[in-house]
Amino acid sequence: MKKQLSLVLLCLFVVVGSLSAKTDNPKSTRDVILILHTSAVSGAAKDENGESLYKGIAVRKRQEPQPHLRELEARRKQREREQDGVIRRLQRLSSDIHIKRQFTGLIHAIAVEIPVENESEIRSWPEIRNISPNRRYKRLLLESNPLMKVSSAWEESGGAEQAGRGVKIGIIDTGIDSTHVMFDDEDYPVLDGYPVGDAEFANRKIIAARVFPKRGDTAEESTPMDRDGHGTHVASCAAGELNTPSPL
């Protein structure tokens, strides 16, 4: 599907995407979640009916704390002390262990980067119930148009291969990543008078790129480069290469 794309910045669209799992797995270390044996605050602090007192909000100090808030705060501090003990033990085990994040509310766990050689020993500790991979997820751009059922509109324009041919599309959004495979400009002609705007962020497919910075933006923020991903996603829905399997 060959389409020309003209891009400007700074607006908001609602888009959808699918997810694919990706696990960070360097050669000698792993990003993992250490799940501790004792329950999280949500499972430990309960009312007289056995219902959890935890409502997913941070416990804040108040002049006259309510009884359930005092209970939540006490449970949270207890879990933090337990985690501090595990962290001290991890630090004694290896200087290559890095603490990423701690969780006490819905899960009692610590996100860490650990050397692979230390994993079996850590797994044997009585405080540790389980070790799970710390996964990251990325949206896949090629799933959006089928979810929005745009093929019916393409059929009215002569089919997917012809839809949008020769049309210039202007988008105001968070920017665009001109290096993304969705905007490969191979086989596109050079149009007279283009590219315009910031040519560094344009090509034969993205024929115009311009930023409208607001007061206080840094030099990095004052370019058409998309640091959020939303503009790239929207532009790919409107004029990306057909059937291109590509992450955001």
Report yes or no on 69 lying in a domain.
Answer: yes
| Pair (124, 41) in one structural domain | yes
Report which residue type is found at 143: E
Residue 59: domain span: 25-133
| Pair (192, 219) in one structural domain | yes
| Pair (126, 42) in one structural domain | yes
pLDDT in tens, the chain (248 residues): 444 454 444 433 333 333 334 444 445 999 999 999 988 877 766 666 666 666 654 444 444 445 667 777 888 899 999 999 999 999 999 999 999 999 988 889 999 999 999 999 999 999 999 999 998 776 666 677 788 888 888 888 788 778 777 788 899 999 999 888 888 888 888 888 888 888 888 999 999 999 988 888 888 888 999 988 889 888 888 888 777 766 55
| Pair (113, 41) in one structural domain | yes
Report yes or no on 245 lying in a domain.
Answer: no
Report pTM: 0.47
* Vertex 11 angle, CA 233 and 15, to 5°: 35
How far is residue 171 from each of residues 6, 12, 130, 196, measured CA to CA in Å? Answer: 7, 10, 47, 15
Gap between the Cα atoms of 190 and 46, Å rounded? 67
Q: Looking at residue 110, what is its pLDDT? A: 96
Residue pair 105/42 in contact (Cβ under 8 Å)? The answer is yes
Phi-psi category of 42—alpha, beta or left, where left has phi over 0 and alpha has psi -120 to 50? alpha
| Residue that finishes a domain, picked among 133, 164, 191 | 133
| Pair (192, 233) in one structural domain | yes
| Pair (124, 155) in one structural domain | no
| Pair (147, 202) in one structural domain | yes
Gap between the Cα atoms of 83 and 19, Å rounded? 31
Q: What's the structural domain count of the chain? A: 2
Report yes or no on 203 lying in a domain.
Answer: yes
